[in-house]
Amino acid sequence: MIRLEGITKHYDTGSRRVTALSGIDLAVAKGEIFGVIGHSGAGKSTLLRSINLLERPTSGRVIVDGTDLTALGTKQLQEQRRKIGMIFQHFNLLSSATVEDNIAFPLKLAKTPKADIRRKVSELLELTGLTEHRFKYPSQLSGGQKQRVGIARALAADPQVLLCDEATSALDPQTTNSILSLLLDINERFGLTIVLITHEMHVIRSICDRVAVIHEGTLVEQGRVVDVFLKPQHPVTLEFVEQVSDPVELPPAADLAARLLKITFLGERTYEPILSKAVQATGVTFSILQGTISKLKQVPYGQLVVKLEGDGAAIERTIETLRADGLDVEVA
């Protein structure tokens, strides 16, 4: 659906050249929610705005739904941009226009018939939970309501892609969760491809299918959220993971007669008594030293640090049994 090939962006400031992006290669599949996370100044906003060419790359290609946007003229690019909606951190609403008129604005620019505008606006008001706020002005709305107006406006032209530029960073945690739930509902209901940037791992963990980590203009890690979250490979990724979880780590093995394991469960198997069955079959005993259960998007996962005690051969059979059941087992 979206493919970035060798995207590089330089800014010339006087005699100095600043590189915001360096050789970015990225692919986003149709219908997925793709997150880009990085610290302030890492280049994530530049990367997001490169997708609709609000920031034109110094070099590289941006291909959306089979069309190379970097090869288009001004008029053709404007037509393609109608397929790409965008929501912003600070809402960017028209302060002198009502909620209804803010949502209708892109439809009026496209010279959509009035009857179609009324119908579409009513649908979007209902979708975003704003029907009772139809005739209010932005100054009369909460931050979450303003962002819902921004989402409705971005959806007005029935885009294929929705770009989210730090869409929840100005909101409190409860409101953030409600906006994330709305984005997830929109994605599932319409199959809309969503690309979002954030500096909050909670956002990535809550709704994204895949994630890319950007650092100093370079993608340092990318993959399924499950894989990146549970086994971060880059120090920056580890920093973000630690925002939302207590690290589950193996302590030093002090007792030579025991083995310490870190076991990772994924999916519905998180709730199954796999460990209990394994030790019953082998006759070893276990103690839970540390543990957590949570969710990545809608996928449950759990991590346990346990101490196994018993016959050495029986402990080895227990470890083999757990791994044969598809669990990730790290041994101290």
For position 276, which CATH number holds? 3.30.70.260
Query: What average pLDDT score do residues 58-83 get?
Result: 94
* CATH number reported for the structural domain that contains residue 29 in this entry: 3.40.50.300
Specify the number of domains making up the chain: 2
Tokens read off for 136: 């209010």
Q: In DSSP terms, which residues pair with 219 in a beta bridge?
A: 214
| Domain assignment of residue 29, yes or no | yes
CA dist., res. 237 & res. 235, Å (int): 5
Q: Which residue has the higher pLDDT, 59 or 242?
A: 59
- Mean pLDDT value of segment 301-327: 91
Whether residue 168 is found in the same domain as residue 276: no
Confidence of residue 256 (pLDDT cuts 50, 70, 90): low
pLDDT (average), residues 253-276: 83
Q: Is residue 252 part of a domain?
A: no
Q: What angle do CA 312, 317, 322 make, to 5 degrees?
A: 130
pTM assigned to the model: 0.88
Question: Is the per-residue pLDDT at 76 higher than 60?
Answer: yes
State which residues form the domain around 71. Answer: 2-244
Long-range contacts of 324-329 (CB under 8 A, 24+ apart): 325/269, 325/274, 325/278, 326/269, 327/263, 327/264, 327/265, 327/269, 327/274, 328/230, 328/263, 328/264, 328/266, 329/261, 329/262, 329/263, 329/264
Indicate if 165 and 298 belong to the same structural domain. no
Distance CA 146, CA 91 (A): 6
Buried b (16+ CB within 10 A) or exposed e, 57-83: beebebbbeeeebbebeeeebeebbee
Q: Tell me whether residue 253 is in a domain.
A: no
Domain identity same for 154 and 209: yes
Q: Are residues 91 and 227 in the same domain?
A: yes
Residue 298 to residue 296: CA distance in whole angstroms: 6
* 310 occurs within a structural domain: yes
Do both 313 and 239 map to the same domain? no
Q: Is residue 250 part of a domain?
A: no
